[in-house]
Every structure is written in C-alpha cells, then in structure tokens.
A and B are shown apart, each in its own frame.
Chain A
Amino acid sequence: MQRQVALIKQSLFDQGYLDEQFMELEELQDDANPNFVEEVSALYFKDSARLINNIDQALERGSFDFNRLDNYMHQFKGSSTSIGASKVKTECTKFREYCRAGNAEGCLRTFHQLKKEHSTLRKKLEHYFQLARQAGPKETARRPK
C-alpha cells in the first residue's frame, strides 16, 4: 500500500505537478505533525479557490484591470510556489506576463488553463492523501530520484 502511495507521489513529481518544494513540506512533517502536508494543501486549495473566484469575477466584468489582476495573480503564485504546485505556478507566470502585456485574450486563455491545472492537482492530491492516510504514517518525504 505504501508502495502504491509512493508511486503515486512519484508520478506527481514526474509529471511536473509537484516540485521540490513539496518535498520540503514533507520534510516538515513528523510525528508531532503527521498531517502537516495535507493540512497545508487543504489550506492552499481553500485560499486559492477564493483567489480564483476573485479573478473570475474581475474577468467577467469585462473591464480588464491588469494591475489588479496582476496583484491577484501574484498572490496566487506565491501560494502555489509555497506548496510546490509546479504546473499551476507556470500558468500563473504566463498569466502575469499577459497582464503586463495588456493582452486580455491571453489572460483569459491562460486563466482557463490555470483553473484546469488547479483542479487537476487538487484531485490528484486528494487522492494521494487519501491513500497515504490509509497506508499509515510511514510515508515520509523521499526525494524522487
């Protein structure tokens, strides 16, 4: 079971969903805080959902306030980087570039992609944590390769 969990995790890294930072977080997990990573992830998804909402609303309004969008995205990027959400972070960067360029179309497209990545990651992580809990607390951070 644990091997399975490990494999899943490995694949997440391999596929680029997660990066080194995630490993850092796992290292912070210990017996005293056995679910730290999961807690952080939960917090991240909750907070980022809020941000996504804000951005959605801002985009829907039609008036592209690039500054504001950029601000939102900066926050979003910060969170995503902190938990190691690699693909999400990439999309964030792209989005910000479009913002700076004033490219509304690009922003919309990227944002759409970003949301997709975000929800994919969320599902995968949820699945992963679920398994990890089932497998027991043995799971410790192991750097992929």
Chain B
Amino acid sequence: MINSGHGRGPDSGSNSDPFPAGLRVLVVDDDPTCLMILERMLMTCLYRVTKCNRAELALSLLRKNKNGFDIVISDVHMPDMDGFKLLEHVGLEMDLPVIMMSADDSKSVVLKGVTHGAVDYLIKPVRIEALKNIWQHVVRKKRNEWNVSEHSGGSIEDTGGDRDRQQPREDADNNSSSVNEGNWRSSSSRKRKEEEVDDQGDDKEDTSSLKKPRVVWSVELHQQFVAAVNQLGVDKAVPKKILEMMNVPGLTRENVASHLQKYRIYLRRLGGVSQHQGNMNHSFMTGQDPSFGPLSSLNGFDLQALAVVGQLPAQSLAQLQAAGLGRSSLIKPGMSSSPLVDQRSIFNFENPKVRFGDGHGQTINNGNKQMSLLHGVPTGMEPKQFAGSHMRVQQQITGVRPGQNVQSSGMVLSVADHLPRGGPSMLSSLGQQQPMFSTSVSRRSDLTGAVRNSIPETNNRVVPATHSVFNNFPADLPQNNFPLASAPGISIPVSASYQEEVNSSDAKGGSSAATAGFGNPCYDMFNNFSQQQQQHHNNKLNDWDLRNIGLAFSHQDTASASAAFSTSEAYSSSSSLRKRRETDATVVTAHGQNQQPPSRSLNHLNHVFMDGGSVRVKSERVAETVTCPPATTLFNEQYHQEDLMSALLKQEGIPSVDNEFDFDGYSIDNIPV
C-alpha cells in the first residue's frame, strides 16, 4: 500500500510533523458493524475518530463543534437522512471535506457524490488503505483555499519548478479514489508549487496551516462576498480581489477562495436547475435571487446583493433559479406560470426554516399554488392576500424582530446559524456596504412593521427562505445558506408559512440540492440585487417582476415592466430570484421599483423587486393583476408591501432588496430595524 501520503504519519518518521495523525474524523453510518470496523481502521491510522450512527446527530455534532472536525465520512444510505443531503449540509455549513461511502458502486450514485461535492467516494467494504490517505482531502481543500487566493493575485510563481515537487505530493493523492480529482482548481498543483516556492505564508505543506481556524461565513460576510463577486464578475472573480473588495480584517484569501468554490458550485447547481425550468424566465429565475435580496432584511445587503445580482449574468441567476427551482419541485409546476414561484421555491428551499407564517400561506394560496411552494417567497403573494397576510406578517415580523436581529442578519438564510452571528453584525456590515440598504432596511423596518408585516407574510413565507437564505447567504452562502433550511433561527416567526414552503421545496428539491442551490441563488440574488439596485434596480425589479408576475402582469405594466424586464432581464432574473426568495422583496423591492417609476406603473412591482428588487416588482404586479397566477399571489402580498416599499424606496432609494434571505429568520423585515 502506498503510504506516501501517510508518510508523515507513523510510517515514515521523516517529517517531524505528526500530521496526518490526529486528524479528526467524524464517521456516520447506520450500520453498527461498519461503524465499528471503520473506527478501528481509522484509529489504526492514528486518526481521532468520532462515531455516529445518525445523520442528524452528526450534523448537530458538527454544528456544536464548528472546528472540531477535519473531515467527515458518511454512508450514502441512511434511514434518517440521505447521505447526500448530509453532504451538502456539511459542505455549506462547515466547509469540511466529506467522503461518501456505500456498498453501492453504481456509476450514478458515485456521480451523485461528485456533483454534490463529495471529495471522495469509497466502495464498501472499505479497506484501511483507502482510509490511510483521506488526510489528503483535508490538505487539498486548504491548498485550494490558498491557491485561490494566490490566483487572485495572479501569482503563479514557479509553477514550472514546483511542478516536480508537487508530483510527489500528488502521488499521495493518487492513492485515493479518483473521485477527488476534482479540485476544480487546476491550480492545485500550482498551489503546491507556490507554496513551495513562495512565501505563501504557511506552506500548505505545513500541516499547521491546515489547522487554521475556520471562518464563519456570516450573512453579512457572505453578502459582502457576493457583492464583491458580482462586481468583479462571477467568472472573473478571484479571491484576492474579492478579499480586497471585501476588506474584512482577518479574512484570508484562502477563506475567500474556498468560499468562492462553494459559491460557484452553488451557482452551477442553480444553473442546472434553471435550465430545467425552461427558461421560463430565465432571467426571471435569476431574478429570484433578487427577490431574495430584498427580502433579506439586510437592507444594505439586499441592495448590494441585488445590485450584485443584477450584475450577475443572467445565467447565474438562472442558475440560482434553477437551483432554487430545481430544489423545489413544487415550484416547477408553478414555475411556468409564475416565476415568482420559482424564486420562491428557491427560497423555500433554502429557508425551510423560514416559515413565514401561515397566514402567508393562506394568502398565497389564493391562487397560487405556487405560492405555497414558495412559501417562503413572498413574491407570489397577491396583494390582496397580502393585506390579510399583512397583518400576519406583522406578527411575524415582530416576532422575528425581537427574536433575531434579523435585520442585521438580513441573512435569513443562515438565520439559524447566522442569526446569532449575522444578526447585528450583518446589519452593520450591511450598513457599511450599503448605506442604502441600511436605510432601506431601516425603512423597511418601519415599513416592515407595516409593510413587512403584510409582506412578510406572503413574502416572508416565500421569502423567508430566500431571505434568510439570502441574508445569510451573502455572507455565508456557501455555508449557511443552507442553513436556512436547517437553520433553526430562520424558522423564526416569520417563516411559519415560509417554512412550509421552504421545507417542502426543500424536500422536493432534494434538500441537499436545494440547500446548495439555494445558497447559491442567494448569491446571485444578492449580488445582482445590490448591483442592480444601484443601477437599475428598477429594471431588475421589473424584469423580475415581469417574470414572476410576468404572466399576470403582463398587462399591467407590461410596457414598463417589459421594458424594465428586458433590460434587466439578466438583472432581474437575479432580482427575480431574489424576489422570489424574498417575497419580502416586495417590501424591499419597493426601493428597486421605485426607481423605476416610469416604467413601472406598478410601483408595486418595483417594490417587490426591492428585495432584490425583483420581489417587489412582483408584488406590485400581483396587486394589479391580481389575476396573476399563483405566483402572483405572492406578489399581492408584495403589493401590499409596495406601499411600504415605495415608502422605503423613497427613503432609501435602494431597491428593497430585502434580502429575501432574511426571511429565514425574520419575516421579511429582517431588515435591521
């Protein structure tokens, strides 16, 4: 057996570095026999093993000890939770490498492992040789992070020379199963080189670098990240630049790099989904994100997110949407009719927790089946319903507010996770980022009180997912956005209904996917949203709304909307995404929409979009058309919000991008109050 990788360990004492001995491994398998065997094997490899026979337990263990483990090994078939879902959760929340294993060696399952982000896939019976080299995944991940940062700097130092050096190291990797070759950073080799050559700081080789503390991607942090990425352009964004733009002390390029990876995976997933959707609203889909944005209470963030989202290429939005859509199977059906729904679905997915409130569901259900789907995504909310929900929303909002700093956390997503973190910090960060947001947020808060309440209901419901998702997402999309679903915090008040949707969508979407996707969408949404906000927030909203409401509203503001829609298609898609997510967006979107007063006769619509701007837009439309498809119902709610939104918008001028993410934790109004 090749122990080169393990060389550092007991086998070869050449390196004084004890690594990988002491690697902290968490093993999850419902089969006690396998668990026992694996434990023994891992201990023989001198790893520190923790056994777990239930996925839920494993997740809570991981959450409790955020930095307590280096790698996770999980079985695919488990009774309480699908292994892939766990995989996604872990990847997003904790950013740990996860190895899947199963007696099933069929290609499709292995592929699924790859697409869900597993760093490796082991076939049972697992041999100790296969386990001896798992440490390489930990090293690789860290290197990738480093590398990414390196890349951003464009430092390709000695790539040539180092290559040789890397080879030996690579050998260790060769031992592992092939699944891992994926660092999607081809530069990994380069990384090695760089490490060796330059003073990257801790040489990756050095195991000590592996021990660096994990960064927690709070909602606000994520939002900053997303904003930065959007500004740079998703494809061109490099960790170094992102880091510079974010300007967060203590954040390293590696952190950004790994986060970027996740984000990209998330986007990809979204992209995949969107395709499904048929492009219904391709842009729309993307717009979903925007909706999120607005919803997220992160006022500042939303804007940013929205703006960013706006900037994000439609495809990213689409991706997001797709992701979102994909996730919520529910939405799919509705999708065609109401883009909002899609968005919502994303939200829903993301924010299962965000149950915005049952009231919302009611309103939403008026006509929107979709709404129900999106639950979280208020976008679908119909204004009328909204009114009703308004009240509910208020309740929700209030509930939310006190409970969490939703606002600050804007990131509803991670509400659960982020709330604590993101809460206040998020706001602050948001505030910094976007003065607009904060204002909007604050406005929103005011509005939210009023509008939010109403909106949140619908939006919250729908959005919550998104909101929270978004909210959190911006900062920690990769990690926590998912959490929305899982984030307990998010489920706070607002999301009663939202959660349902989210959950359902989540469930449908294959939560794992959803979460992943969701997380991503948030990214887009926010990013786009924020970007757009500034630019054409309205446009986005319009587009977004158009999409969502598109169906219904076509008549309303078709002119304006369409105009806006088309323009900001890409934008709106993101925003729409946002919207969807954040049905709250309506509240938030107000700002977005407001911007577009001319085009939007439907101010509402714009409002809706606020979140991501898109969300708002929708609501408006909904309000007007009322007849809009289910999705519109969301809008209706938004519509309601649009009043608020407009108010907000006026104040802020920022698209009410409430990060829909916020929804998670708080009813639309997570916006910092």
Contacts and interface: CB of A to CB of B under 8 A. Distances in A.
B37 A40 contact: yes
B33 A40 contact: yes
A137 interface: no
Contacts of A118: none
A64 interface: no
Interface stretch (B120-128, B224-232, B260-268, B517-525): B120-128
A82 B40 contact: no
Interface in A23-59: 24-25, 27-28, 33, 36, 39-40, 43-44, 47-48
A74 B104 contact: yes
A77 B32 CA distance: 13
A83 interface: yes
A78 interface: yes
Contacts of B34: 78-79, 82
A78 B127 contact: no
A82 B125 contact: yes
A28 B40 contact: yes
A36 B31 contact: no
Most buried by B among A43, A79, A82, A83: A82
Contacts of B125: 21, 24, 81-82, 84
B464 to A, nearest CB: 34
B44 A78 contact: no
Contacts of A21: 125, 127
Nearest to A39: B36
A103 interface: no
A82 B77 CA distance: 15
Nearest to A19: B125
Contacts of A44: 33
Contact of A43 (B36, B75, B126, B127): B36
A71 interface: yes
29 contacts: A25-B37, A28-B37, A28-B41, A28-B44, A40-B33, A40-B36, A43-B32, A47-B33, A48-B33, A71-B77, A74-B103, A74-B104, A75-B31, A75-B77, A77-B103, A78-B34, A78-B75, A78-B77, A78-B103, A78-B124, A79-B31, A79-B33, A79-B34, A81-B103, A82-B33, A82-B124, A82-B125, A82-B126, A83-B33
A82 to B, nearest CB: 5
Contact of A24 (B30, B32, B36, B128): B128
Interface of A: 21, 24-25, 27-28, 33, 36, 39-40, 43-44, 47-48, 71, 74-75, 77-79, 81-84
A85 to B, nearest CB: 10
Where chain B touches its partner, the secondary structure class is mixed
A111 B40 CA distance: 31
Nearest to B101: A78
Contacts of B104: 74
A78 B44 CA distance: 22
Nearest to A36: B40
Interface in B88-124: 102-104, 124
A81 B128 contact: no
B36 to A, nearest CB: 6
A48 B128 CA distance: 23
Contacts of B126: 82
A78 B33 CA distance: 9
A24 B77 contact: no
Nearest to A51: B31
Interface in B33-50: 33-34, 36-37, 40-41, 44
Closest 10 CB pairs of A and B: A78-B103, A79-B33, A44-B33, A21-B125, A81-B125, A82-B34, A28-B40, A82-B125, A79-B31, A43-B33
Question: Of residues A24, A27, A48, A71, which shows the largest number of chain B Cβ atoms within 10 Å of its Cβ?
Answer: A24
A33 B30 CA distance: 23
A73 to B, nearest CB: 10
Given A74-B103, A75-B31, A81 B124 contact: yes
B36 A27 contact: no
A36 B127 CA distance: 16
B247 to A, nearest CB: 50
Contacts of A75: 30-31, 77
A139 B127 CA distance: 21
A84 B102 CA distance: 15
B77 A47 contact: no
A84 B126 CA distance: 11
Contacts of A24: 125, 127-128
Contacts of B124: 78, 81-82
Contacts of A74: 77, 103-104
Given A71-B77, A74-B77, A75-B77, A33 B40 contact: yes
A81 B104 CA distance: 11
A101 B44 CA distance: 42
Contacts of B37: 25, 28, 40, 82-83
A129 to B, nearest CB: 16
A81 B75 CA distance: 14
